Amino acid sequence: MQQPELQELSQTQRERLFHIDFRLYFLGTVNRNDLVSRFGIKEAAATRDIAAYKNHKPGNIVYDSKLKSYFKSKDFIPLFDYTAQQALSALSQGIGDDLVGTYKAMVYCDTPASLNHPSLNILADLSTAIHQGKAVQIHYCSVSSGETNREVVPFALVDNGLRWHIRGYDRKRDRFGDFVLTRITRTTVLDGVVSDHERREHDIQWNRIVEMEIVPHPNIANMPHPETIELDYGMKNGVLKINIRAAVAGYMLRRWNVDCSEDHSKKGSEFHLWLRNSPALFGVNNLAIAPGYIKDKIS
């Protein structure tokens, strides 16, 4: 619930305070230029907005005179309420970071229920580390190893259609990898130096682009109207060409049940699509989850 005194402010004022609060919470920092560029206001107005925020939450914000920016304090308590959906939408798509209150659809619609939601405080630490280029210590649970302590240098949030990950450098295993947000139980943003080899530019799987050619599954040819599949996916001349990062290729192929076998041998009504150029997957790491993937044949 918003504080009662916030209800007395205009919608515009609340949106500016919301923007300050959001950036502090999820990015760890805010300055006057953030407000100037977002709302098209003068620097003097931005200064007043930050002062107004400090009046509501004086313990939330610390000024660094050298960097000329405000930072989130260790005792930060958000001024507004957030949902995981709202935060992830704003962080990933750049929308929703100035919406005060709950979402309201413009037309009636329904979406499948989400079975998991990341902790907002953990998401805030991770997005702060990404934004500021820092490492983060995490307590991570996996099915095979249980809970372990890791130091990770995250650089991106990744939505695989079912759950959210962070992509980053795992110092324990000395390699880049993915970490499911809901499996992270504790986080601490670290102030140490991040080495050059730990940065996004050195993640080969992230920077490699795979060119896929997806076509209707040959089994569809036996159906009365196979052209329906071409309409479903906006295919041109019977093919959908997609460029995708190697690091997330397996997720996409699994999400859309794309048969990756060379001889389109996957059976079942759920397989409407076939990857006709499977050799393009050579060297992609996360294909164990791709339908029909057989490592020895492709590599």
Res. 112 pLDDT band, cuts 50 70 90: confident
Higher-pLDDT residue of 240 and 113 is: 240
pLDDT tens column, 210-233: 999 999 999 887 777 878 999 999
Angstrom distances, CA of residue 61 to CA of 47, 64, 75, 131, 207: 13, 10, 9, 17, 36
What mean pLDDT do residues 264-285 have? 93
pLDDT at position 103 over 60:
no
Confidence (pLDDT) at 221: 74
SS3 per-residue string spanning the chain: CCCHHHHHCCHHHHHHHHHHHHHHHHHCEECHHHHHHHHCCCHHHHHHHHHHHHHHCHHHEEEECCCCEEEECCCCCCCCCCCHHHHHHHHHHCCCCCCCCCCCCCCCCCCCCCCCCCCHHHHHHHHHHHHHCCCEEEEEEECCCEEEEEEEEEEEEEECCCCEEEEEEECCCCEEEEEEHHHEEEEEECCCCCCHHHCHHHCHHHHCEEEEEEEECHHHHHCCCCHHHHHHCCCECCEEEEEEEHHHHHHHHHHCCEECCCCCCCCCCCCCEEECCHHHHCCCCCHHHCCCCCHHHHC
* Beta carbons of 40 and 48 less than 8 angstroms apart: no
Give me the domains of the chain, ranges plus CATH numbers.
4-93 (1.10.10), 120-203 (2.30.30), 208-298 (no CATH)
Res. 115 pLDDT band, cuts 50 70 90: confident
Dihedral sign, Cα of residue 243, residue 202, residue 129, residue 52: negative
What mean pLDDT do residues 116-131 have? 95
Q: In what order do the strands lie in the sheet with 164-170?
A: 175-180, 164-170, 146-159, 136-142, 184-189
What does the angle CA 55 – CA 36 – CA 52 come to, to the nearest 5 degrees?
Answer: 10
The chain-wide mean pLDDT, for the chain, equals 90
Confidence (pLDDT) at 256: 95
Q: Tokens 């991770």, residue?
A: 126
Give long-range contacts, CB 8 A cutoff, 24+ apart: 120-124. 120/25, 120/82, 120/84, 120/87, 121/187, 122/181, 122/184, 122/185, 122/186, 122/187, 123/26, 123/84, 123/87, 123/88, 123/91, 123/181, 124/25, 124/26, 124/87
